[in-house]
């Protein structure tokens, strides 16, 4: 679960705080698990929601996508073959907090843009824009490392 928490925060201390809070919530609510679906999925959802709550406390409620030039790098797909999981985590941690959060919620946790907009208090189009820009930034960072 630490890896899940680390995907949302640049600082490991924040990820550790979320990890601790997540385990407290997990143990306090263990009796609420009904056995429907996988236990791992239920646990993961607790940690993702805890990360979102932690993020909301640290950042203002409204997150605006900043207008800047679209990044359309030449990207060599074979560069992905040379990446390890820690490299991917490190790359996503270099994103701005808004981009990183939307990217992780959509690509990693599987939330829809509508769900993300409700969770973060942003518009659905802002969620989509931040996701697309996060992907472009990741491509650019990976392209520089390749």
Per-domain boundaries in the chain: 1-58, 62-146
Average pLDDT over residues 69-87: 43
Report yes or no: 9 and 48 within 8 Å, Cβ to Cβ: no
- pLDDT for 27: 93
In this prediction the pTM is 0.53
Tally DSSP H helices, then E strands, for the chain.
Answer: 7, 0
Average pLDDT over residues 44-70: 60
Beta strands in 48-135 (DSSP E): none
Instruction: Report the C-alpha gap between 97 and 55 in whole angstroms.
Output: 9
Average pLDDT over residues 120-139: 90
Among candidate residues 140, 108, 89, 100, the one with its CA nearest the CA of residue 44: 108
Class of domain 1-58: mainly alpha
* CATH match of 62-146 with 1.20.140.10: no
- pLDDT for 63: 32
């Amino acid at each position: 679960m630490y890896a899940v928490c680390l995907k949302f925060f640049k600082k490991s201390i924040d990820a550790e705080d979320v990890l601790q809070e997540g385990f407290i919530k997990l143990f306090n609510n263990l009796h609420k698990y009904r056995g429907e679906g996988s236990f791992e999925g239920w646990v993961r959802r607790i940690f993702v929601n805890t990360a979102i709550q932690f993020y909301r406390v640290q950042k203002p409620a409204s997150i605006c996508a900043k207008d800047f030039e679209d990044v359309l790098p030449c990207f060599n797909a074979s560069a992905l073959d040379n990446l390890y999981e820690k490299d991917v985590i490190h790359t996503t941690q270099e994103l701005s907090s808004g981009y990183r959060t939307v990217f992780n919620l959509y690509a990693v946790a599987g939330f829809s843009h509508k769900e993300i907009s409700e969770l973060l208090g942003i518009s659905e189009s802002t969620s989509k824009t931040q996701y697309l820009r996060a992907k472009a930034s990741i491509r650019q960072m990976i392209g520089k490392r390749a």
